[in-house]
């Protein structure tokens, strides 16, 4: 195992360099960042290739095989980021500056930090002469995750499955510590919800806005719909991951209403994160109606971001939609639909994570969680049904409630000590899995 101080230094320096590549998606422009990573990995002895669905936006695949058969371990990440407005930031979002013990910049949490820790761990091990005794190590760094992975992980899994096939995948999605009722839990993302975005349309009759009752205003018919969807509450339903998190919190899950109420009383912040794991969420986000201010709209459209527990499809979503929205004077049309998926919880990979947490944070535990959105892990689970794909980037210095608002937000940053913690985890997992 490389020295902890060396791992922390390598990861910090690499993250700073990655942040300085402006990879805001769109347009992405991941080429330079990927070539930099390829250079580091090739020098360390990895076989590398860049595969591009579109010019200038390559995906990096680095491989190092063992002497005998064994599992394929894939450390997965992406280098594209969301946008950043420098006017909203304390520091330049592409500076990678160190301040207050943290590396600042867009991607510091999502997710150039994890890419840096994964690559630094692999390069440090290889530099000491380590090679897999069995199986294969793959470092896969994708483009286009922030825009749906059409040119990234989805494309790789559909067009080049033989190159990225893996038995174990470690990606983003969880790992920050949760403090609750005197317990410390590290989340492990084992599942991701599906996306069933839809447009709800109401109809009426156009007319001149100066005579309000001459028409039938379709826009005002959205009022009861918006009222019904306000508050963000869900119809609670049992999920494997919801039960697992409640068990980790030591909350009786037999009655979900009572369980959520107990968590709400103890720590409302945890309840806000728990509730989406327990059902379908319906979040109105966009409205359109008349194109002229003096015309009563004959149609009004409301776009709703709908997230559904893993394995459930449009029929289940429709049932929850009609149950939540009063009346029937509207039409529903689904746009983007992606069924969520999950990996099993009780696996050797989970035991490896649990052992690591026990060594690094005595008395702390781990809990399976469900990501309310979805990440590149879902494409790997879909392409390789036997694959176990988890999201885990351990963070001890910055807890979940501090980190979550910074993801896609201003002043995104990550503690240097957490970079070292994560790099130690990846280095240890590589050695343990491929021995």
Q: Which CATH number do you get for residue 286?
A: 3.30.70.360
Residues 333 and 299 in one domain: yes
Q: Residue 339: what pLDDT?
A: 94
Residues 27 and 99 in one domain: yes
Q: What is the pTM of this model?
A: 0.94
Query: Which of 368, 386, 420 is the last residue before a domain boundary?
Result: 368
Q: Angle 43-124-35 (CA atoms, 0-180°, nearest 5)? A: 40
CB–CB of 190/369 below 8 Å? yes
Q: Residue 336: what pLDDT?
A: 86
Q: In which band, very low, low, confident or very high, does the pLDDT at 326 lie, cut at 50, 70 and 90?
A: confident
Residues 17 and 126 in one domain: yes
Q: At what angle do helices 4-19 and 112-127 cross, to 10 degrees?
A: 130
The residues near 323 (Cβ < 8 Å, ≥ 6 apart) are 235
Residues 113 and 138 in one domain: yes
Residues 59 and 149 in one domain: yes
User: How many folded domains does the chain comprise?
Assistant: 3
Which residue numbers are catalytic?
Answer: 80, 145
Residues 93 and 110 in one domain: yes
Stretch 134-157: mean pLDDT, rounded? Answer: 97
Residues 141 and 82 in one domain: yes
CB–CB of 105/90 below 8 Å? no
Tokens matching residue 428? 């240890």
Query: Which of 339, 356, 389 is the last residue before a domain boundary?
Result: 339
What is the residue range of 357's domain? 181-189+236-278+340-368
Residue with tokens 């890419």: 115
Tokens matching residue 339? 């069924």
* CATH number reported for the structural domain that contains residue 94 in this entry: 3.40.630.10
Determine what percent of the chain falls in helix, strand and coil, rounding each to the nearest 5: 35, 25, 35
Whether the pLDDT of residue 1 is over 90: the answer is: no
pLDDT per position as a tens digit, 369-400: 999 988 999 999 999 999 999 999 999 999 99
Tokens matching residue 268? 């409302």
The residues near 353 (Cβ < 8 Å, ≥ 6 apart) are 186, 188, 366, 390, 392, 425
Residues 22 and 165 in one domain: yes
Stretch 54-81: mean pLDDT, rounded? Answer: 96
Residues 314 and 404 in one domain: no
Whether the pLDDT of residue 39 is over 90: the answer is: yes
Residues 147 and 90 in one domain: yes
Distance CA 371, CA 236 (A): 16
Distance CA 184, CA 177 (A): 6
Q: Residue 14: what pLDDT?
A: 98
Task: Using alpha carbons, list the distances in angstroms from residue 196 to 304, 336, 396.
Answer: 9, 6, 34
Residues 168 and 208 in one domain: no
Residues 329 and 219 in one domain: yes
């Amino acid at each position: 195992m490389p020295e902890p101080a060396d791992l922390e230094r390598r990861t910090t320096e690499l993250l700073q360099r990655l942040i300085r590549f402006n990879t805001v998606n769109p347009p992405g422009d991941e080429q330079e960042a990927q070539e930099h990573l390829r250079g580091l990995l090739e020098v360390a002895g990895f076989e590398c290739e860049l595969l591009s669905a579109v010019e200038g936006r390559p995906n990096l695949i680095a491989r190092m095989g063992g002497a005998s058969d064994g599992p394929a371990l894939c450390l997965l990440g992406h280098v594209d980021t969301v946008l950043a407005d420098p006017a909203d930031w304390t520091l330049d979002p592409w500076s990678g500056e160190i301040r207050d013990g943290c590396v600042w910049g867009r991607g510091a949490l999502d997710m150039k930090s994890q890419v840096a820790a994964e690559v630094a761990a692999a390069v440090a091990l290889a530099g000491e002469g380590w090679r897999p005794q069995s199986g294969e190590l793959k470092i896969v760094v994708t483009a286009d995750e922030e825009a749906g992975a059409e040119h990234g992980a989805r494309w790789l899994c559909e067009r080049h499955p033989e190159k990225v096939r893996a038995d174990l995948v470690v990606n983003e999605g969880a790992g920050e510590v949760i403090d609750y009722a005197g317990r410390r839990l590290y989340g492990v993302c084992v599942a991701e919800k599906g996306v069933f975005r839809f447009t709800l349309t109401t109809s009426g009759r156009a007319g001149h806005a100066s005579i309000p009752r001459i028409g039938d205003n379709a826009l005002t018919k959205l009022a009861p719909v918006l009222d019904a969807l306000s508050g963000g509450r869900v119809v609670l339903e049992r999920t494997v991951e919801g039960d697992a998190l409640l068990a980790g919190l030591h909350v009786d899950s037999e009655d979900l209403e009572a369980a959520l109420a107990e968590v709400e009383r103890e720590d409302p912040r945890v309840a806000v994160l728990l509730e989406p794991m327990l059902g379908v969420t319906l979040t109105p986000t966009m409205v359109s109606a008349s194109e002229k201010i003096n015309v009563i709209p004959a149609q009004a459209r409301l776009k709703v971001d709908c997230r559904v527990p893993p394995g459930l499809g449009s029929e289940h979503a429709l049932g929850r939609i009609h149950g939540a929205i009063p009346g029937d004077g509207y039409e529903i049309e689904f746009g983007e639909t992606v069924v969520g998926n999950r990996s099993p919880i009780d696996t050797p990979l989970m035991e490896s994570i649990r052992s690591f947490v026990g060594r690094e944070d005595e008395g702390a535990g781990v809990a399976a969680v469900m990501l309310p959105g979805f990440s590149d892990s879902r494409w790997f689970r879909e392409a390789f049904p036997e694959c176990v794909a988890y999201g885990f980037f351990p963070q001890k210095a910055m807890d979940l409630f501090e980190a979550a608002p910074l993801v896609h937000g201003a002043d995104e940053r990550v503690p240097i000590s957490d970079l070292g913690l994560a790099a130690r985890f990846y280095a240890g997992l590589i050695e343990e899995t491929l021995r």
